[in-house]
Amino acid sequence: MVTPIYTMGVDVGGSYVKAVLMSYDHDSGEHKLLDKQTEKIRKRNPKDVVVETVDAILLRNKLNFDNDIAYLASTGEGEMVEKKTGHFYSMTSHARGGIFFAPEAKTVVDMGALYVRAIKVDPRGKVIDYKMTGQCASGSGQFIENISRYLGLAIEEVGPISLKADNPEVPSGICAVLAETDVINLVSKGLSTPNIVKGINISIAQRVIKLLGSLRTESPIVLVGGMGMNEGMTQAIEELSVEKNKEDNKFISHPDSIYSGAIGAALWGGFRYYKLKEKQAAVVA
């Protein structure tokens, strides 16, 4: 197979399956995101969702899995992906994905459905250190989804609506159940939806800032995972960072941030593909 090769990454998360097709250029180190697809798992079998998603990408790009894909890498809960060539741990994948979006980043903040994880990385995307939020769901994207459902918003609307807030009210940041009760009270009080949503984003952003402080992170900081696409969250994090006299912190977000795990896995897959090739060549020699 000649360079560049095609690799695929599949990230099976708590709510969504995310899949990408990449061209991996071992020689130049210039890798490209060619295609991507997100599928909500809902009540389906995640295995079937993965097959559908991968097949859809292959079909769109007129590729044949057996002949054209050098490596299919899974991550997250993706160990059950039947066609995978190899599996990569999610933190490793998100760290690599973060570096793909922002090669200069020194910290990757993975904000997924279940938790927020701040990761210190080296320029290769290798993990140096990390910290995670506590077990409580009020630090997770799932919490935002629950609240958006309650407020009758599509998840994509949460970011833009948050930007319209003028006087946000912050609910409990300690417990998701308490926060949901707070939100019900805020709705009853007649608070506008933008101010409620911004308040929610701030409550999670407070946790992110605390996490960054405890990890003693360095800037630039790239925000990845599903919540990384929420521009309201990015704004809340930036504002809080300034409030904490950390105005030098530079935050980078990316519209494809939900794909960071899948991208990272696909890139590690390409890396491992060539490593194996080198080993095989050495054995033959």
Q: Interface residues with other proteins (CB under 8 A)? A: 89-92, 114-115, 117, 122, 126-130, 132, 134-135, 214
Closest to other proteins by CB, 171 vs 264, is 264
Q: How far is the CB of 148 from other proteins (least distance, A)?
A: 23
Q: How far is the CB of 255 from other proteins (least distance, A)?
A: 26
Closest to other proteins by CB, 54 vs 208, is 208
CA distance 68 to 159: 38
Judging by DSSP bridges, how do beta strands 69-76 and 5-12 pair with one another?
A: parallel
Closest to other proteins by CB, 33 vs 91, is 91
Closest to other proteins by CB, 94 vs 198, is 94
Closest to other proteins by CB, 146 vs 192, is 146
Q: How far is the CB of 73 from other proteins (least distance, A)?
A: 15
Say if residues 85 and 72 touch (Cβ distance below 8 Å). Answer: yes
Q: How far is the CB of 114 from other proteins (least distance, A)?
A: 7
Rg (CA), the chain: 20
User: Quick one: how far is CA 74 from the chain centroid?
Assistant: 14
Residues in CB range of 11: below 8 A, 6 or more apart:
17, 18, 19, 74, 75, 76, 78, 90, 93, 259, 261, 262, 265
Residue for token digits 């044949």? 64
Q: How far is the CB of 125 from other proteins (least distance, A)?
A: 10
Coil, strand, or helix at residue 74? strand
